Amino acid sequence: MKTNSLDSLKTWAKSVRSDSEFRITILACAGTSCLSSESDLIIEMLQAKIDEHNLNGEVNLKKVGCLRFCGEGPIMFIEPDNITYVRVAIKDVDDIFTKHILEGTTITRLLYTSKKNELIESYENMNFFKKQFRIALRNVGDIDPRNIDEYVAQDGYKALGMSLLEKTPDEVIKIVKESGLRGRGGGGFPTGLKWAYTAAVKSDEKYVICNADEGDPGAFMDRSIIEGDPHSLIEAMTIAGYAIGANQGYIYIRAEYAISLEPLNIALNQAKEHGLLGENIFGTDFSFDIGIKLGAGAFVCGEETALIRSMEGHRGEPDKKPPYPSESGFRGKPTSVNNVETFVNVPAIILNGAEWFASFGTERSKGTKVFALAGNVKNIGLVEVPMGTTLREIIFDIGGGHPENKTIKAVQIGGPSGGVITEEYFDTPIDYDSLTAIGAMMGSGGLIVMDEDSDMVEIAKFYLDFTQDESCGKCTPCRIGTKRMFEILERLTNMEGEPADLERLETLGYNIKNTSLCGLGQTAPNPVLSTMKFFKEEYEAYAYRTKRTSYAIEGKKCIGCTKCARVCPVNCITGKVREIHTIDESACIACGACYDACPTQAILKP
């Protein structure tokens, strides 16, 4: 059935049976993290029980995208009871069915325990969710991504209908401009302006490209959106096509995300069946199709010119800009490249108006930003907050601070292109310009919390290892320079360095930044330069070789419980029961297993 007016869309939306018409609705997370803990099996087993008891008319079990609290997964939200279960396992399925679904009793052992040791029944009362506000993730976790009806019931495709039937392309661009939406892929370029540039170029063919490469090795926001709410992306890209005058879109998605393709392909087909994608959308003379292009594991392909090369079947090496893709992009035609999260904001902006969107955030950064919060923090998962929220709020209110109340010394933001932000700047409001002002950057949304035990030199080395490996090799400073920097860092951490290495690192770093062709090289030294700026003493401990490299036991805290000796993989801990243990420092491989095992925190990190 083709949809050709806003009225027919409305009728369709009304005909969808809503969750509240069921006696009980269970939103069961099938996001990546929860799937890794067998949530798909859990859902299957629960569904089998519901089938067996013929309860499908009253019990609505929905397999949804990421419910955001990944660190406590697998997660289930149960409505209207307003109960949230965390860390659900296969062995809990019987109880959930019999005790909760049939008898209506809450299973307390599956409730979340706060840091203060309180049991919390509903996600609404968890600090992790309280300060969050969703625009980009508005449907993720609420709807079944494989069912277009549910998306339509949430006003899905209404923004597309409003655009095609009631607005000119220029009017659409004007709204996006006025909303203040800026690119969420890292650069922060105003989206409306990018669309206007691409619209202004005359050409028989133009392209809309969605950058779903998500290259930051600590981020999974875009993936969660594609898996949890694929129709929002399809709708937004189609609106973009209408606005700039393109009839073809492509989603460039990294190869590792191949399983995200299943819900996306289903969604594309459903949209076509209903005349919301393909020929004559909404019965108008506007046609638009979306294809999928797979990446093959190259970080630099997240850079838009490299991405375009890769889509054309070549090695993904960046090109000089200008010309910008808006003039000459895919197949040499005008192309607008936008990030997944950028796109999915658009339907919400069209539906609610530019002013509504601009009412969130700060002076020059509007709306919200999604972060993937991880590392040494109690609450791990996806966090969407209005721009202007402070890092302190994210780390301590939403994130719950350190799981064992150790000191948090920094967060890493912006992945391999970014840097660290230290405690003294935790009150900085998060927006593009404030972050740039303190020498950091927004990046695409990776936010990694690091505690007092984190070794900043090792962290910097980790990122350099990544970038030197990912450098496409087109320009020498980046190809050779990042290798040299990595070698120096290796020398340092192997205790073979010297004080002059610190100067070499800095000089090299600035040279690479200033002479590289693309953003990869221009930002690759950032993790080193920024940790050197704030944690010079850690570099010096390596350079002057004063740093201990193995673990050690603090005698007065050791109670001789033998736990450490039992977990050590190389058996280098000796000691009798109830006597002080010692580590043979020459044999220790610094794996940290003893550190985790010790009940009295007697083990010292290097």
Partner 1 sequence: MRKEILDISQLDKSLLHELDAYIDSLKGDKQEQLIHVLHRAQELFGHLPYNVQLYVAHALKLSGAKVNGVVTFYSFFNEEPTGKYTISVCMGTACFVKGADKVLERILKLTKTKKNEMSEDGLFTIKDVRCIGACGLAPIVTVNDKVYGKVKVNEVDGILEKYRGDHHEN
Ligand X SMILES: Cc1cc2nc3c(=O)[nH]c(=O)nc-3n(C[C@H](O)[C@H](O)[C@H](O)COP(=O)(O)O)c2cc1C
Closer residue to partner 1 (CB): 197 or 462:
462
Q: In the complex, what is the shortest distance from the CB of residue 11 to partner 1, in angstroms, rounded to a whole number?
A: 35
Q: Which does 503 bind (CB under 5 to 8 A by kind): ligand FES, partner 1, ligand SF4, none?
A: none
| Structure tokens given for 603 | 């083990």
| Structure tokens given for 492 | 């340092």
CB under 8 Å to 311, separation ≥6 — which residues?
Answer: 209, 250, 252, 293, 330
Give the residues lining the site for ligand FES (CB under 6 A).
Answer: 29, 31-34, 66-70, 73, 75, 381
245 binds ligand X (CB under 6 A): no
24 binds ligand SF4 (CB under 6 A): no
Q: Which does 75 bind (CB under 5 to 8 A by kind): ligand FES, ligand SF4, ligand X, none?
A: ligand FES
User: Would you mind telling me the total number of residues written for the chain in this entry?
Assistant: 606
438 binds ligand SF4 (CB under 6 A): no
Q: In this structure, are residues 249 and 281 in contact, taking their beta carbons and an 8 Å threshold? A: no
Q: In the complex, what is the shortest distance from the CB of residue 10 to partner 1, in angstroms, rounded to a whole number?
A: 36
337 binds ligand X (CB under 6 A): yes
Residues numbered 294-313 forming contacts with ligand X, rule: CB under 6 A: 300, 302-304
Q: Which does 312 bind (CB under 5 to 8 A by kind): ligand SF4, ligand X, partner 1, none?
A: partner 1
CB under 8 Å to 146, separation ≥6 — which residues?
Answer: 63, 263, 266, 267
Question: Which region among 38-46, 146-154, 179-187, 279-287 touches ligand X (by CB under 6 A)?
Answer: 179-187
Q: What's the CA gap between 339 and 207, in Å, rounded? A: 14
Closer residue to ligand X (CB): 33 or 342:
342
Q: How many CB atoms lie within 10 A of CB 123?
A: 21
Please give the full DSSP string across 135-150, using - where no structure is assigned: STTTTTTTS-TT-HHH
Q: In the complex, what is the shortest distance from the CB of residue 251 to ligand SF4, in angstroms, rounded to a whole number?
A: 23
What binding mask, one character per residue, do residues 298-337 give for ligand SF4 by CB under 6 A, x or -?
A: --x-----------------x-------------------
Q: In the complex, what is the shortest distance from the CB of residue 27 to ligand FES, in angstroms, rounded to a whole number?
A: 10
Using CA atoms, how far residue 72 sits from 42, 76, 97, 114, 120, in Å, is: 15, 10, 21, 11, 13
Count of residues of this chain found to bind ligand SF4 when the rule CB under 6 A is applied: 43
473 binds ligand SF4 (CB under 6 A): yes
Q: Sign of dihedral through CA atoms 313, 314, 316, 320?
A: negative
484 binds ligand SF4 (CB under 6 A): no
Q: What's the CA gap between 181 and 193, in Å, rounded? A: 10
Among candidate residues 180, 161, 153, the one with its CA nearest the CA of residue 276: 161
Which residues on adjacent β-strands are paired with residue 112?
120
Among candidate residues 298, 234, 222, 217, the one with its CA nearest the CA of residue 260: 222
Closer residue to ligand X (CB): 218 or 519:
519
Under the rule (CB under 6 A), what is the footprint of ligand SF4? Answer: 300, 318, 471-475, 478-479, 516-518, 520-521, 550-551, 553, 558-564, 567-568, 570, 572-573, 581, 583, 588-594, 597-598, 600, 602-603
